[in-house]
Structures are given as C-alpha cells and as structure tokens.
Amino acid sequence: MFNNNQIDTDSLPKIEALDFKLISKNYFKIILLNLALSYGVIISLMFTLKQFIKNTFFHTNFWYFIIVLIILFLIQLFFYKLGFKKRKYALREKDITFSHGYLSNSTTTLPFNRIQHLEISRTFIARKLGLSTLKIYSAGESGGDIIIKGLPKNIADSQYAFLTHILNERV
Amino acid sequence: MKGYNFDTASRQSVKGIVVIFGLNIYKVLKAIVIGAAAYAIEIFKSDKGINIININVIFIVISIVLYFLILATLKYLNFKFYINQKHFILKEGILNKEETSIAISKIQNVYIKQNLIQQIINVVSLSVETAGDNITEIEIKALPKAKAVALKTILLSDSNIAPKDSNVTKAANSIYYKASYKKLLLEGISENHLKSLGFVIAFIVGLYDSFKDLITHFKFTSRFNTYFLLDQQSLFGLVLLNIALLILFLVIAFLFSLVKTMIQNFNLTVYRKKDGLEISKGLFNKISLGLVSSRIQNTTISTNKFKKMLGLYKLSFTQAMVNKKQQQKFNIIGLSKIQINELINTFYPNVFLALNKYKPNRYFILRAAFGCLFALLLVNIPIFFAPIGLLFLNIPIIILLTCNVIYAYRKAYYSVNDHYIVVGSGKFVDTNTSFLETHKMQSVALKQTIFQKRRDLATIKIYSASKALTILHIEIKMARNIYNFLLYKVESEDKDWM
C-alpha cells in the first residue's frame, strides 16, 4: 500500500489508539423516553382502531399484535442498551472523532480545517437533564457531519468554545 | 467591445413579457391538464350541446389569459438589475418589493440557458448561483444573447482572475470536442433501456390511472379482450398478451431513451478554457455550463458493455456548491478512450501512472449475493400466488443477478495514493470509475457491521463536498491505514478544498 510515498504509515497518528470518552449516562433516559413514546403512539393507535374496525381477523389477533409490538420494543431497547456504550467521541489536536452503533458501527473523523459551521441544540427534555447536542458540519453534501447527542451541557459548551476559537484562528 | 452599461438600472428585453407569460401559462396548463381532460370526458359523456358551456369557457379562458398577461407585464416593469460597487443588484416584485444584492466575488457560477420559448423569440435566460444555498433563485428570464454574455463576463470577473478583455478569453476558448450526430445516435441506442423501461411503465400506469374513466368509456378493454377470447382460459394466451405488452413497452422505452439522449445532448460542444471547461448542449433547453477545475469534486467515467464495444465513454463531474438539478447536467457523453484519458489527465495529472489497484475481500460476493437473495424473495412473493408457470420467470432473474454479483466483484477495486483516491465499481453491464483528489475530502468514516467484524473487515466512506466515495469490505488493517493516511494528508497539508 502507498508505495508512492515515503511516509511510513505505521508512524502516523492512529485512530485505533484513540482514547474515547463516553457521553452522559443520562442520555439513555432520553433514548428510552423517545422509544417508549413512539411505541406508545403505535399501541394507543391500535387500541383506538379496535373501537372502529369490525374486521374479525383484526379482533381475534389483536393481543398477538400488541405482544409482537412489545417484543419489538424490548429487542430495540436491548440493542440501544448494547449500542449505548459504543456512543463515544474523541478530540485530537487537529480533528474530532465520533463513533456509534452496535450492529453497524460507524466511526467518523472530521478534520478541524474542514469544519463549515457549528451548532448546539437542546430539546426540552435534554434541558431538564442538563444535556446538549453538539453538531459539527463540514461542506460534505452527502453526509459526513458529526452530531454528538447527549453531551453534558458544560462539556458541550466548552467544546463549542474551543472549536469556535479554532475556526476563528483559521481565518 | 460591446457597449453595455450595467451601472444604471436596466430592464430585461421587452420579450421578457412573452417568456414570463409563456412560463406561467405552461405551469397552469400542466396543473390542469388532467382535470381538463376529465372535464372534457364529462362533456363527451353527457349529450348536451357544446353551446352553453362554450360562452362560459371562453370567458374563463380569456380572463385567465388577460390576468397572466397583465401579471407578466407588471413583473417585467418591476424587474430591474444593475451593478453597483462590485455588487450585482436585482429589484423585483409588484406589491412586495424585493431587493437582492450579491457581492460579485461571491458569485460561483453563471448559467446561460434557452428554453423553447426563448429560442423562438431569440433571447436567453441568465441565472446566478452563489455559495451557500442550494437553489438558484436569481434568474433574468430574457436577455439578448450578446448582452447576457457581456453580463456573464463581468459577473465572473473576480478580481484575481484574468483581465476582462473579451479577445483574450475568446482565444482561450477553443472547441475541444463536438459530438457528432452519429455518436449521439450510438449513445442513445446503447443506453440502459431497462432504466427507461421503468420510467415508461411508471408513466403508463400513471396515465392509465388518470384516464381510467376514458378507457372504460371507450370500452378499450372489452375490445382488447375479444382478440384473446379464444385462448383466454389457457395460460398461453395470457403469456402471449404479456409478452406482446412487454415488447411494446421495450420498444417505447428504447425510443424514449434514444430521443431523450438526442434532445438533451443535441449539439454537445465542449470548449477548453483557461480554468476549466465549458459544456453547451440541448435542443429545447439550451444550456451552457462552466466547469472550474478547482471546484470539481468527483469525476466519474462510466460506460457499459455495448458502449465499450462502440468506444463510447461518459464523463460526469460534480462540483461543490452547485444545486442537485444542475449537477446532473455536468456530463459529456460520446467521448473516446483517448479523449477521456486526456481530460482526466488535465484535471488529475498522472493519475493513471500512480494507479495501484487493490481488490476488496471476497466477503463482497457473499454480501452482494445475500442482497440479491432478498430481492429474489421479494419478487417471488407475488409470483407465489400466480400460476405455476410464472415460476420460470425466476430463471432469467437468477442468471441476471448472478452475473451482476460476479461482475460487481470483478469490477470493484480501489487505489489510494498521495494525491488521488480512485474507486472502480460496476455491475454486469455498467462500469464506473470515480476519481477524487485527497485534499478534497471533507471527512472520513469507517463502518463495520457485526458480520464484517467477525471477518476483520470494514467499509471506508470518504465524504466530499458533493458525492461520497465508498470502498467496500476491505481488511480492517488496510482500512485503518487508509483512514489514518487520509486524515494525515488533509490535516498536514491544509490545502483548500475549493
């Protein structure tokens, strides 16, 4: 590989050697809430439909549907729990890395000199739990942006200030 | 030099009224065509005389035409543009006045286009694209060609780019390539007709849906059925009908892609410019696109089995800060192998010499086969309920899918070096090669599913300001090497990506 350059690839800074930091444990509450909410909506919709639909197939199998939905909910929750430990980020002098996903793990690195703009957003529940979402955008049209959800507010703010400082210095 | 003065506010050509009017009427017609057809059917059905409706209809039509004519005139009168202190300023709006001001240095691209109406009355439209938004909102709909060209030169005359002496630019703009009719015809014939088949079927289904009433009214189906009445019970008749329909659709699809290619690329001409290329093409919608080499992100060579035999290659570019619709038009078809190599070498010097091809892991085949199996199952769900004979449909599908998988692996390769990332991909028929300069990378991702993890494999995705390049299923060690290397390149060199 890379016959063409004199750089020894082994001497390059390694992504695998990064010391990742986990996001706030509180963020799992938000995941749980969101998941419960979406399944809750579907299940309550089913109950409403039960009042209006005369179809016998629907009525005889109604509780099976509900059980299947609950099992799906538990499976999804289980994978979110497994994946939660995989949500981690790391900062280096010249780039930021975010990694997430259990079934399909994805690690994205965005060099600071490619940052286009930054954003901090906080939903209502996140505010209650003292969490922030830090979004770092590149000019990538097809993705490649870094969005770290569930950072403690103070860390997100200091990170934001740090990155803004770097951005300003670049110009 | 042409003596156009843009310092004072000027309107577009008076013909602009016609263009605005025409576009509005076209939009209205497009919106009501189905409704109007349905209405017409109603009239046909009821045996009432046409007299009563006529007066009303004429009155409505006249008032609509009058309304749009007045609207177009007012729009024309209220539309002014000028250049003031390095800013291009547009004023528009009848009741809600709007003023847009763009710093000339921020202008990314200027397009000169001509649709059918504009061609008939001999004017062009000029649209301006700026960095930061995806939509070209600023468009002057009717200008005399010479004036538009003069304005374009001024708008693109960024202080750091060449002096705006039109003679110099003319000399530099030599024709590099002009597609002959024969080439366009061959390109059209060797298109992927299956793709247009999809379009045609979707179109016909949509048409059938909107004209269901009409079709039942004229009893098409019953007439059609009588032809096949004798053997309708037998499967043979059904199959015959379907084959006949399929052949008909295929012929339509063939003509569709042929005509589409010819119209879109009519008079395709490529000019070589100092900082890139200029492509002009189109029969009804004439466009001329500027291609600035520093803004090019991704370049893809594509061909297919038949085109390769005919020596036809297509080169498509993606540029940063260009909207999606415009993006699709940045391509040159009918190029020969030599021309392709020449063009690629201008934008990516020495890329072929430094090419060092690596193949993905064989897991690629397994993964692709699984995907196909899933598709096959999906296709078989409706077949399962159909007569047993249709199961034979699976044979050509399986052959096609198997060939696709084998060729997809054969054609897949990647090469990463100091300056370029090259990714080859393809299927049974198509072959694509994509190029990206390493410093145009925005960010990089390493993806690994649990199945890949077991085999120590990973997928690399390299994001640019347009498309992303994907290197599928390579050894994790190699993937990490590429990942670290690309980051090192981008972070240590600090080159501009645009």
Of B358, B463, B488, nearest to A144 by CB-CB distance is: B463
Query: Is pLDDT above 80 for A123?
Result: yes
The larger pLDDT score, comparing residue B43 to residue A84, is at A84
Amino acid residing at B129: E
Query: Is pLDDT above 90 for A56?
Result: no
Contact B443, A108 (CB under 8 A): yes
Residues of B within 8 A of A103 (CB-CB) are: 449-450
B491/A146 Cβ within 8 A = no
The domain made up of A88-170 has a fold known as: PH-domain like (2.30.29)
Whether B448 and chain A come into contact, CB under 8 Å, resolves to yes
**In which element (H, E) is residue B39 found?**
helix B16-45
* Per-residue model confidence (pLDDT) at position B64: 87
* Per-residue model confidence (pLDDT) at position B474: 95
Contact B372, B405 (CB under 8 A): yes
Give the count of beta carbons closer than 10 Å to the beta carbon of residue B474. 22
* Per-residue model confidence (pLDDT) at position B162: 40
Whether B326 and chain A come into contact, CB under 8 Å, resolves to no
Q: Residue B332 and residue B291: Cα distance in Å, rounded? A: 12
Whether A169 and chain B come into contact, CB under 8 Å, resolves to no
* Per-residue model confidence (pLDDT) at position A1: 45
**In which element (H, E) is residue B302 found?**
strand B296-304
Q: Nearest chain B Cα to A10, which residue? A: B481
The token duo for B2 is 């042409």
Instruction: Give the A:B interface size as CB pairs under 8 Å.
Output: 119
pLDDT (mean) for A112-118: 89
Q: Residue B223 and residue B479: Cα distance in Å, rounded? A: 63
Contact B391, B383 (CB under 8 A): yes
Residues of A (43-72) whose Cβ lies below 8 Å from B: none
* Beta-ladder partners of A45: none
Residues of B within 8 A of A111 (CB-CB) are: 443, 487, 490-491
Q: Nearest chain B Cα to A115, which residue? A: B442
A110 to chain B, closest Cα gap in Å = 5
Q: Is the dihedral of CA B111, B117, B119, B123 positive or negative?
A: negative
The whole-model pTM stands at 0.79
B483 to chain A, closest Cα gap in Å = 8
The larger pLDDT score, comparing residue B167 to residue A139, is at A139
The mean predicted confidence, pLDDT, of chain A is 89
| Number of helical H runs and strand E runs in chain B | 17, 19
Q: Nearest chain B Cα to A142, which residue? A: B467
Tokens 């298109």 belong to which residue? B191
Question: Which ipTM was obtained for this model?
Answer: 0.89
Tokens 């800013």 belong to which residue? B87
Whether B449 and chain A come into contact, CB under 8 Å, resolves to yes
* Per-residue model confidence (pLDDT) at position B52: 55
Order of strands across the sheet that contains A115-121: A115-121, A131-138, A146-152
B307 to chain A, closest Cα gap in Å = 29
* Per-residue model confidence (pLDDT) at position B221: 54
Hey, is B388 helix, strand or coil? helix
Q: Nearest chain A Cα to B439, which residue? A: A114
Query: How far from chain centre, in Å, is Cα B308?
Result: 22
What is chain B's pLDDT, residue by residue, as a tens digit (498 residues)? 446 778 888 888 888 888 888 888 888 888 777 777 777 777 666 665 555 567 777 888 889 889 999 999 998 888 888 888 888 888 888 888 888 888 787 777 788 888 888 888 888 888 887 765 555 567 888 888 888 888 888 887 764 444 334 334 444 568 888 888 899 999 988 888 888 888 888 877 777 776 666 656 555 555 555 554 544 456 667 777 878 888 888 898 899 889 999 999 998 999 988 778 888 898 888 888 888 888 888 999 999 999 999 999 999 998 877 767 777 788 999 999 999 999 999 899 889 888 889 999 999 999 999 999 998 898 888 877 777 777 787 888 899 899 999 999 999 999 998 889 999 999 988 999 999 999 999 999 999 999 999 999 999 999 998 889 999 999 999 999 999 999 999 998 878 887
* Beta-ladder partners of A97: A90, A109
Least confident window among A48-52, A127-131, B198-202, B472-476: B198-202
Least confident window among A41-50, A78-87, B52-61, B363-372: B52-61
Whether A17 and chain B come into contact, CB under 8 Å, resolves to no
For strands B296-304 and B420-426, give the pairing: unpaired
Helix residue spans in B86-234 (DSSP H): 116-120, 145-156, 166-172, 181-189, 193-210, 212-217, 220-227
- Listed by start position, the domains of chain A span 27-83, 88-170
Residues of A within 8 A of B461 (CB-CB) are: 144
Tell me phi and psi for residue A94, to 5 degrees: -120, 0
